């Protein structure tokens, strides 16, 4: 029998009743004692790699300095941009999210992730306002392509890069 319903139907009434009682007891126990996920100690800030991190680490070992797994993204903003507020916002996001402060290392010949207590990133501002509109667009594409080709240093980090291209006066 491959169908569970058919197997249950073939049980004697006594066995079915016993099965129902056991299932009800399990449901009651589950309701009374929710399973909690224990918080890991953050004292050492060193943890095993997730499967995705293992794959990334392995590929980095196989082909160092590769940009194959870079995920470039660009946002076009209009209006005035407060660079100082942008920097503070990004630093706060990095402070709150361990994954943005994570780097990779090897401990006892095993890859591990290390969560840095603090991470500062530079936000260069590249002023392209002096260029003509056509030159500006060409330069934006070239700079984006160049940035996407720069590999990340998984050991030292950061594993995030940000730049601001200033295209117009506002």
Cα–Cα distance measured from residue 168 to residue 170, given in angstroms and rounded to the nearest whole number: 6
Q: pLDDT exceeding 70 applies to what percent of the chain? A: 92
Cα–Cα distance measured from residue 79 to residue 170, given in angstroms and rounded to the nearest whole number: 6
Arithmetic mean of pLDDT over the chain: 90
Could you report the per-residue pLDDT of 16-62, keeping only the tens digit for each? 888 888 888 888 776 666 667 677 677 778 999 999 999 999 999 99
Q: Which domains does the chain have, with CATH numbers?
A: 1-36 (no CATH), 46-166 (3.30.559.10)
Give one DSSP letter per residue of 48-112, joined into a string: EPPHHHHHHHHHHHHSTT--TT---------S---HHHHHHHHHHHHHH-GGGGEEEEEETTEEE
pTM score, two decimals?
Answer: 0.70
Q: Is the pLDDT of residue 163 over 90?
A: yes
Residue 104 near residue 53 (C-beta atoms within 8 A): yes
Report CA-CA distances (Å) from 39 to 9, 57, 100, 126.
43, 25, 19, 43
Residue 5, pLDDT score: 79
Cα–Cα distance measured from residue 111 to residue 62, given in angstroms and rounded to the nearest whole number: 14
């Amino acid at each position: 029998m491959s169908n569970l319903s058919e197997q249950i139907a073939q049980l004697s009434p006594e066995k079915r009743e016993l099965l129902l009682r056991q299932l009800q007891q399990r449901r009651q126990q589950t309701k009374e004692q929710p399973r909690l996920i224990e918080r890991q100690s953050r004292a050492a800030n060193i943890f095993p790699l997730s499967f995705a991190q293992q794959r990334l680490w392995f590929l980095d070992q196989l082909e160092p300095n590769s940009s194959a797994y870079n995920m470039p993204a660009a946002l076009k903003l209009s209006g005035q941009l407060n660079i100082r507020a942008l920097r503070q916002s990004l630093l706060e996001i990095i402070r709150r999210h361990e994954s943005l402060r994570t780097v990779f290392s090897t401990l006892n010949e095993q890859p591990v992730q290390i969560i840095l207590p603090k991470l500062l990133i530079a936000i260069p501002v590249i002023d392209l306002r002096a260029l003509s509109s056509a030159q500006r667009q060409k330069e934006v594409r070239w700079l984006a392509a160049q940035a996407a080709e720069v590999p990340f240093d998984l050991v030292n980090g950061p594993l995030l890069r940000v730049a601001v291209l200033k295209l117009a006066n506002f």
